[in-house]
A = this chain, B = another copy of it.
Amino acid sequence: MRQVVMIKPGTIEVEEREDPRILEPTDAIIRLKATCICGSDLWPYRGAEDVEHQVMGHEYVGVVEEIGSQVKTIKVGDFVVGSFWASDNTCEICQAGYHAYCVHRVLMGTIGTQSDKARIPLADGTLVATPGQPDEDLIPSLMAASDVLGTGWFAAVAAEAGPGKTVAVVGDGAVGLLAVLAARQLGAERIIAFSRHGDRQKLAREFGATDIIQERGAAGVAKVKELTAGLGAHSVIEAVGTQEAMMQAIHSTRPGGHVGFVGVSHDVAIPGDELFGAGVHIHGGPAPVRRFLPELIQLIWDRKINPGKVFDLTLPFDQAAEGYRAMDERRAIKVLLQLDDRP
């Protein structure tokens, strides 16, 4: 099978690898229908994380080809969606809704799902089958559920977005944009998107943003205060991972309000005195996407949401390197890699 490998920062190749095999009786093998490139893949691509000949990818949708002897609920032929942590869905931590910290978790990024096929550990816990074989046009949205939608949704839940609330979203990447969609679905009254890019502003408005703020940092915070009688937003989502974004989120939140953060933190340090002074709630980290998958799949299946719109560039799998370049240069919000070009 083919698999995307990051040889070193900035260098992507598609390599031929052996097909995956069942290693544990709880594994499944899936043939991917599509895969995609994540904003977090850009951190190593840009040299901000060490990388050397690393298999890539942790988002996946596809059809089950084989199951281990202990797999009970997932069947061969099922169309399934999974997320970036394999999880058993039964341990105390999973039951509390924190599948990304399952006591048996396996990081899918170490397996790599920018590939024709993939081994999925803990298949019964990790995979959620769709109600049937999806129409072609639903694939991008189901793909989005695998990570960016689930992550944006978690951010909105962590920020306690809901009826009567003003929600601000820091970050206009795929996750930030889908956090806007999530806030809207969760019933937020007003949704402020921080964005300087016309195309992303447009998508933010389609997803439910009521206000756009172009300013960043202290000037951006001042604008949020202007829109909220000087108090700040009830709920603020941080979907970038930088110091500026985190502090912009904290300072945009009213005392007693909630910050939900899902940007993978890089060189962030939150000053204790500022956090003490702010009086906000902070919650975040790697999203427990699995918690939300059944609900998200149903919303997509019923065509109530269309998160697949974040894929503004679709390429054949063999052009993965061009996909990375397009996202790195911000020519694309998110890139879908088609896998049905080889049977």
Contacts and interface: CB of A to CB of B under 8 A. Distances in A.
Interface in A246-285: 246, 254-256, 261, 264-273, 275-285
Contact of A275 (B93, B243, B254, B270): B270
A101 interface: yes
A25 to B, nearest CB: 24
Contact of A269 (B254, B266, B271, B279): B271
A262 to B, nearest CB: 9
Q: Is the interface of A mostly helix, strand, loop or mixed?
A: mixed
Give the oligomeric copy count. 2
A92 interface: yes
Contacts of A278: 285
Contacts of A96: 256
A98 interface: yes
Interface string A99-124: 01101000000000000000000000
A106 to B, nearest CB: 16
A91 B273 CA distance: 25
Contact of A284 (B92, B271, B276, B283): B276
Given A97-B256, A101-B255, A256-B98, A272 B276 contact: no
A231 interface: yes
A283 B285 contact: no
27 contacts: A92-B229, A92-B231, A93-B254, A93-B255, A93-B256, A98-B256, A100-B255, A101-B255, A101-B256, A101-B279, A241-B272, A246-B272, A255-B285, A265-B271, A265-B273, A265-B275, A265-B276, A267-B272, A269-B270, A269-B271, A270-B272, A275-B282, A278-B285, A279-B285, A280-B283, A281-B282, A281-B283
Interface of A: 92-93, 96-98, 100-101, 103, 229-231, 241, 243, 246, 254-256, 261, 264-273, 275-286, 288
